[in-house]
Amino acid sequence: KAGVTQTPRYLIKTRGQQVTLSCSPISGHRSVSWYQQTPGQGLQFLFEYFSETQRNKGNFPGRFSGRQFSNSRSEMNVSTLELGDSALYLCASSLEPGPGNYNEQFFGPGTRLTVL
Amino acid sequence: AQKITQTQPGMFVQEKEAVTLDCTYDTSDPSYGLFWYKQPSSGEMIFLIYQGSYDQQNATEGRYSLNFQKARKSANLVISASQLGDSAMYFCAIGELGYSTLTFGKGTMLLVSP
């Protein structure tokens, strides 16, 4: 079974530009979460999508947005990039969440974004 | 709100020895799960072990075991017989059951020496 894939793996942008990152979950997984990892702030939750609906959102400005498609693939977009957006962006997929379930999240290799 | 505290920025251990990585948590949720992930230098997060808040027994997965003390709100990871390949960042995380959102700690860098 193929794992979580993220494209591109590396990205270099300049301040003010926008960027779109893509995540393909494991086949059969309908929940996709995004995390930002920086040396200073560590791992921070961005959003969680399930069945094309955003179920949860972290404390990030509106420049960060995302969506999920009917095939469960997800994209996140960052507009008006700032130097502080340089980070490793990790996507994780899991099975359908439900009461009493724990959902092992399978992470992708990440997209390393550098903003110059 | 949920919070994870990992007080050890770095740990050193010799090969074949056991090591304990500390994790304390805070949550107001009655049901929650505790997770440990390993992140090698490649960047990918690798799931190691899980403990549910209502699980009576401590979780074990091969060389990994989770020392869960609910009253003390701690969920320490014990790695037995350390191997050189265990050198990595280790993250403790908490999630509310039924949801996929995880809150991570700052991590502990483990270095295993020959």
Residue A48: which of B35, B101, B106 has the nearest Cβ? B101
pLDDT tens digits, residue range B62-105? Answer: 999 999 999 999 999 999 999 999 999 999 999 887 777 889 99
Contact (Cβ atoms closer than 8 angstroms) between residue A87 and residue A60 = no
- pLDDT of residue A100 exceeding 80, the answer is no
| Chain A nearest CA to B81, separation (Å) | 25
Q: What is the DSSP string of A5-71?
A: EEE-SEEEE-TT--EEEEEEPPTT--EEEEEEEETTTEEEEEEEEETTEEEEE-S--TTEEEEE-TT
Cα–Cα dist B94/B42, whole Å: 23
The pLDDT value recorded for residue B88 is 97
Three-state DSSP at A103 gives coil
| Chain A nearest CA to B24, separation (Å) | 17
Contact (Cβ atoms closer than 8 angstroms) between residue B6 and residue B22 = yes
Tokens 């995540």, located at residue? A23
Size of interface A-B (CB pairs under 8 A): 73
- pLDDT of residue A99 exceeding 60, the answer is no
Kindly list the residues from chain B whose CB atom is less than 8 angstroms away from the CB atom of residue A108.
Answer: 44
Contact (Cβ atoms closer than 8 angstroms) between residue B78 and residue B18 = yes
| Chain A nearest CA to B38, separation (Å) | 11
Q: What is the DSSP string of B92-108?
A: EEEEETT---EEE---E
Residue type, A108: G
Chain A residues contacting B, CB < 8 Å?
31, 33, 35, 42-45, 48, 50, 55-56, 88, 90, 92, 94, 97-110, 112
Please classify residue B37 by burial: count the beta carbons closer than 10 Å to its beta carbon, then call 0-12 exposed, 13-18 middle and 19+ buried.
buried
The pLDDT value recorded for residue B63 is 97
Cα–Cα dist A2/A108, whole Å: 11
Nearest chain B residue to A49 by CA distance is B100
Residue B98: which of A88, A97, A109 has the nearest Cβ? A97
Contact (Cβ atoms closer than 8 angstroms) between residue A49 and residue A65 = no
Nearest chain A residue to B35 by CA distance is A104
| Chain A nearest CA to B114, separation (Å) | 28
Kindly list the residues from chain A whose CB atom is less than 8 angstroms away from the CB atom of residue B102.
Answer: 33, 35, 45, 92, 105
- pLDDT of residue A52 exceeding 60, the answer is yes
- pLDDT of residue A101 exceeding 70, the answer is no
The pLDDT value recorded for residue B31 is 86
